[in-house]
Amino acid sequence: MSLIVKNLQARVKDGPVILRGVDLEVPKGEVHAIMGPNGSGKSTLSKVLCGHPDYEVTGGSAQLDGQNLLDMSPDERSRAGLFLAFQYPVEVSGVSNANFLRAALKARMPEGEEPDAVAFYKRLRATMQRLGMDPKMTARAVNEGFSGGEKKRNDVLQMLILEPTCAILDETDSGLDVDALRIVSEGVNSLRAPFRSFLVITHYKRLLDYIAPDVVHIFHRGRIVRTAGPEMADYIEQHGFDFLKEDDA
């Protein structure tokens, strides 16, 4: 169980085909990495799984814990346990970090119920401290005026608060310096659990030094073309993606 993707095909609405039959299975308790050259469709896979309106699914299936993701709206997928740490987290002006997270938690509760304010702020502050975030950021508008690194941290903060059952990290390492990378990775690792799965999309091996994957998939031209153990990341670090040219030939 957990995330099961079969022959998933998708295109940009009225545009080119990007996903050409993705097969992927991420069992609970495991961390899978997806590596691949630029433009291979890695990020598109994460957006399509989360229901981004720019894309149209043309075939295949995607299930999370037995639920058909493709039948669900983006917010339903989120409430079903799917989380995406964005490659480029979006600014939400005028909405404070704290209010945004409270609204997100509230959306997961039965109608009319709200998270306990005192407990929420206590937990929020403690989590921010772990991520090395300034407590003042609770009152700042979501990602507005944040540096690239702050935005990534903020996304991981949201993940730690929302505690998804399946988290997709889309190039979360980009824009992070070494210290931030370590802190963010520790945050992610703290969430690792037998009932939770991770899909880590990255261009570089360095993130995988901190978040050790169980499986590494190579993504190329809209599909997974290789699946191997963690040693694959080392291979790519040394040799790059040149070997994929054979596939093209």
Partner 1 sequence: MTHDVDQNPLPPDTRGEFSFPEKHAFDAGYGLSEETIDYICDAKGEPDWLRDFRKAALRKFRDLPMPLHWAPEEIGGVDFEQIRYYLAQGTPAKKSWDEVPDEIKRTFERLGVPEQERAFLAGVDAQYDSETAYNNMREELSKKGVIFVNPTEGLTRYESIFRPWFGKVIPVGDNKFSALNHAAFSGGSFIYVPKGVKLAQPLQAYFRINSESLGQFERTLIIADEGAELMYMEGCTAPKYDSATLHSGVVELVALKGARIQYVTVQNWATNVYNLVIQRGIAMEDAQVRWIDCNLGSRLTMKYPAVVLRGRRARGEVVSISLARDGQLQDTGARMIHAAPETTSNIVAKSISIGRGRASYRGEVQVQRGATNCRNRTECDALLLHAESRTDTYPAISVHGDSSGVQHEASVSQVDEEMLFYMQQRGLTRAQAMSLAVNGFINDLVNEFPMEYSVELRRLIDLEMEDSVG
- Sites of contact with partner 1 (CB under 8 A): 50-54, 73-75, 77-79, 83-84, 86, 89-95, 99-100, 103-104, 107-108, 141, 158, 162
Specify the residue, 85 or 208, whose C-beta has the smaller distance to partner 1.
85
Paired tokens of 81: 């346990």
Specify the residue, 95 or 212, whose C-beta has the smaller distance to partner 1.
95
Specify the residue, 199 or 236, whose C-beta has the smaller distance to partner 1.
199
Q: How far apart are CA 244 and CA 249, in angstroms?
A: 9
Residue 12 Cβ, how far from partner 1 at the closest point, in Å? 13
Paired tokens of 16: 């080119």
Report how far apart, in Å, the C-alpha atoms of 205 and of each of 15, 16, 68 are.
Answer: 32, 29, 32
Residue 242 Cβ, how far from partner 1 at the closest point, in Å? 34
Report how far apart, in Å, the C-alpha atoms of 60 and of each of 7, 87, 201 are.
Answer: 5, 25, 21
Residue 139 Cβ, how far from partner 1 at the closest point, in Å? 12
Specify the residue, 33 or 159, whose C-beta has the smaller distance to partner 1.
159
Q: If residue 210 lies in a helix (H) or strand (E), which one and from where to where?
A: helix 206-210
Residue 226 Cβ, how far from partner 1 at the closest point, in Å? 29
Residue 52 Cβ, how far from partner 1 at the closest point, in Å? 6
Specify the residue, 95 or 183, whose C-beta has the smaller distance to partner 1.
95
Question: Counting every residue, how long is the chain?
Answer: 249
Q: How far apart are CA 57 and CA 130, in angstroms?
A: 38
